[in-house]
């Protein structure tokens, strides 16, 4: 069993249409923090978080990802990020369906009208790395940026990739994002008539650094204790109580594991729980543990 320990310096959930506080109150405890009760703007209202400039032609998943990162960095609504390049910050995004609507739209245009009819604003959105590169450009992150689209395990795989970048010294911090849309094309590709829960749009973000003994007196620490793929969907375990978020909120596909871990961080950092586990089945035990740590 291998273990990777991260220091978590930023976190957020951006889940439009999800009653985060109400569902957690039913399953675990009533959250006290505003994070659980504030409504997340829809992708079309992303300007409420990001400001009005620069959003033209951005796909819904990209807008959701930008909102999640904006909030994880603690920026005020509408405040533009510092444009100074952060060369040691990497971006890793987990998303399976983020730009499929754009790909389908451009493919249909080419088939019916020819390549010359493709909008110059739409064409960049067919890049598989568009969400990660958009986050990097928007916030000035100059380290590696990449998208993980490995199916239901994409969030876990992205977390492992973040650990590799930090251990290899390719980045001092990694902005880890999960984002998925729920448009008609994405929902059709996700379902295939077999999913018991619907695809939901949403995003989550974790800002990760390597954990060292000299870190802050009070910190949120994430231990990735197993790096193989886990059964899907995972459970959050708070004390002896657990909740399967997919049953309460719907399924976020490739972003789901990051949504689960970000929720665990909120419960530790903002609600005072000592430790929250994100687990697979009972036989496999905790796969991610989020804890509040204080030096003596």
Q: Are 202 and 247 in contact (CB under 8 A)?
A: no
Fold entry, domain 4-294: Peroxisomal Thiolase; Chain A, domain 1 (3.40.47)
- The residue written with tokens 């094309």 in the block is 185
Please tell me the distance from the alpha carbon of residue 292 to that of residue 252, in angstroms, as a whole number.
26
Q: Which residues contact 114 (CB under 8 A, 6 or more apart)?
A: none
Domain residue limits, the chain: 4-294
Whole-angstrom Cα distance, residue 43 to residue 64?
Answer: 6
In whole angstroms, what is the distance from residue 264 CA to residue 99 CA?
28
293 within 8 A of 236, measured Cβ to Cβ:
no
Q: Output the pLDDT for position 260.
A: 94
The strand pairing partners of 144, in sequence order, are none
Could you state, in chain order, the average pLDDT of each consecutive group of 10 residues for the chain (296 residues)? 82 96 91 94 96 91 98 93 88 95 86 79 86 96 96 90 95 97 89 73 96 67 73 79 88 93 95 88 66 62
pLDDT at 230: 59
Name the pTM for this structure: 0.92
């Amino acid at each position: 069993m291998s273990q990777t320990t991260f220091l978590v310096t930023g976190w957020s959930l951006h889940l439009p249409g999800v009653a985060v506080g109400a569902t957690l109150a039913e399953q675990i405890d009533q959250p006290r923090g505003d994070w659980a009760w504030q409504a997340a703007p829809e992708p079309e209202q992303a300007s409420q978080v990001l400001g009005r400039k620069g959003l033209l032609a951005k796909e819904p998943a990209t807008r959701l990802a930008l909102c999640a990162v904006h909030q994880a960095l603690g920026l005020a609504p509408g405040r533009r990020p510092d444009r100074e390049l952060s060369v040691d910050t990497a971006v890793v995004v987990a998303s399976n369906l983020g730009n499929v609507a754009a790909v389908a739209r451009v493919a249909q245009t080419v088939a019916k009208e020819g390549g010359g009819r493709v909008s110059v604003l739409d064409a960049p959105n067919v890049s598989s790395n568009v969400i990660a590169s958009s986050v990097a450009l928007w916030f000035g992150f100059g380290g590696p940026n990449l998208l993980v689209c490995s199916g239901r395990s994409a969030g876990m795989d992205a977390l492992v990739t973040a650990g590799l970048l930090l251990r290899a010294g390719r980045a001092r911090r990694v902005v880890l994002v999960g984002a998925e849309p729920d448009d008609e094309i994405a929902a059709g590709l996700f379902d295939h008539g077999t999913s018991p829960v619907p695809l939901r749009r949403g995003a989550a973000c974790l800002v990760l650094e390597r954990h060292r003994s000299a870190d802050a007196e009070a910190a949120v620490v994430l231990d990735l204790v197993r790096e193989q793929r886990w059964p899907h969907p995972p459970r959050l375990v708070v004390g002896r109580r657990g909740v399967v978020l997919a049953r309460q909120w719907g399924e976020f596909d490739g972003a789901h594991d990051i949504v689960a871990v970000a929720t665990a961080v909120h419960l530790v950092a903002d609600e005072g729980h000592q430790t929250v586990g994100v687990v697979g089945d009972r036989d496999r035990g905790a796969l991610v543990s989020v804890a509040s740590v204080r030096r003596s």
